[in-house]
Amino acid sequence: MSPFNAFPEFGNFNDNATAFSEALHAFEQGEMQRGLHILHGLDQHIQLTGDLKSLVHLLPRVKATLSRYQDDENDRVKMLNVQHKKVLGVVASENRRIAHSGPTLAALVANYPTAFQNSFVICDRGTYRDVFRRLYEGTTDIAPKCLVLRSADQGGLSEMAGLLSDGSLDTVMFLTDATDLETSDARTLVRAAIRDNAEIYMTFRSISDRLDYEGSQSISRKRPSLEDEGIAIVAHPDRKLECMHWLVANAGRIAKFRRVFATGMTGAWVKRFLEAVGFPSDRVVCVKSGQDGGDEQLSRKVMANQCHHVVFFVDAQWAPPHEAAIFSLLRACTARDLTVNLLLNERSANSWIQTQPVAA
């Protein structure tokens, strides 16, 4: 099989010169990974066939291009960040990428075009192929600049986690299907975002709210009233103080909600602080602590459409035996037929809460 067929989603080429020209074009469009894959196949082909004749006149450009794009990938991201308002990590599970209707990434890109066009997007190969390349085919002049990582099942999520750790990326939109949270790579990405206090949004609603906050108002979205909704506030032991600080700073906004749910000791503190600002005590519902089944109780509230926002101050170092209960709650929040706003650390919670009105 020809090396040019090794990555069919990046194109097939009849000769070396065409392949190299396409690689240069990919670099000019910001599709770094695609260009590197084409050059890699080109290099393999030359080694196998010894065919250098078609590239003799291009060798100086080959050398210059390889020198430019074999630099550390994170340095390229940082360089491009200077030229763009934001570096945005975007990943979507296969069945959350594109459809004729419903809460998909394609719908978000269509509803908030300027948010993505004004950002430098880092995404896995599948997300790029199914969403960005498909939506912007033939309109490269307005397409977002993209760095394409490996596919999610080939290490792309771990690559994105590495960019978070290196400080090259600080916002991730991970529109995930509940079942994908079973994979180790998905959990690695979530942990990395929580650990580095990066913004991470994992549901259609949380991403929509974030994009609204950036001023990229949706062309078709009507926001629900908080007076008709419930919010859950949860914190791991090492995050309770951080949670209470956030609660006190934003009590006026939280008081807009119809109902406040909280687990265990966090619930006792939440009730005390909200009562101090005049929030009726009968609107605070305290369930069991997480280790005694509180996470499962909140999952049922979410599934019953009683809880629409979950602010979870997660300790990135959580460990069994509570991990199963934690991901049970996350799976409930990311169910396709629900519209839940899920926030997993202080930075994400702060970005969201600032979009909400203060109670009169």
Does residue 114 sit in the same domain as residue 180? yes
Does residue 85 sit in the same domain as residue 173? yes
Question: Is residue 286 classed as helix, strand or coil in its secondary structure?
Answer: strand
Q: What is the DSSP string of 44-101?
A: HHHHHH---GGGGGGHHHHHHHHHHHTS-HHHHHHHHHHHSSEEEEEEE-GGGS--SS
Q: 329 CB contacts (<8 Å, ≥6 apart)?
A: 234, 295, 296, 298, 299, 302, 310, 312
Cα separation, 2 vs 49, in Å, equals: 11
Q: Are 175 and 188 in contact (CB under 8 A)?
A: no
Report pLDDT for 1.
33
Asked if the structure places residue 222 within a domain, the reply is no
Does residue 57 sit in the same domain as residue 85? no
Q: Would you say how long the chain is, in residues?
A: 360
- Domain boundaries, position 276: 228-353
HSE-CB of 328 using CA atoms within 13 angstroms: 16
Does residue 206 sit in the same domain as residue 80? yes
Cα separation, 225 vs 149, in Å, equals: 38
Q: Catalytic positions, please?
A: 295
Asked if the structure places residue 359 within a domain, the reply is no
What φ, ψ does residue 334 adopt, rounded to 5°? -95, 10
Last residue of a domain, one of 212, 237, 271: 212
pTM above 0.85, yes or no: no
Asked if the structure places residue 220 within a domain, the reply is no
Does residue 34 sit in the same domain as residue 99? no
The tens digit of pLDDT for each residue in 263-278 reads 888 888 888 888 887 8
Confidence at 67, pLDDT banded by 50, 70, 90: low
Asked if the structure places residue 360 within a domain, the reply is no
- Burial-class residue 24 by CB neighbours within 10 Å (0-12, 13-18, 19+): middle
**Whether residue 33 has pLDDT greater than 80:** no
Does residue 102 sit in the same domain as residue 80? yes
Q: How many domains does the chain have?
A: 3
Assign residue 164 the CATH number of its domain.
Answer: 3.40.50.1380
Helices 16-28 and 32-49, interaxial angle, to 10°?
160
Does residue 123 sit in the same domain as residue 51? no
Q: Are 232 and 310 in contact (CB under 8 A)?
A: yes
The tens digit of pLDDT for each residue in 118-132 reads 888 999 999 999 999
Of 292, 307, 295, 291, give the one whose Cα is nearest residue 259. Answer: 307
Last residue of a domain, one of 44, 70, 96: 70
Does residue 164 sit in the same domain as residue 280? no
Does residue 110 sit in the same domain as residue 135? yes
Asked if the structure places residue 64 within a domain, the reply is yes
Percent of the chain with pLDDT over 70: 69
Does residue 82 sit in the same domain as residue 64? no
Last residue of a domain, one of 212, 239, 266: 212
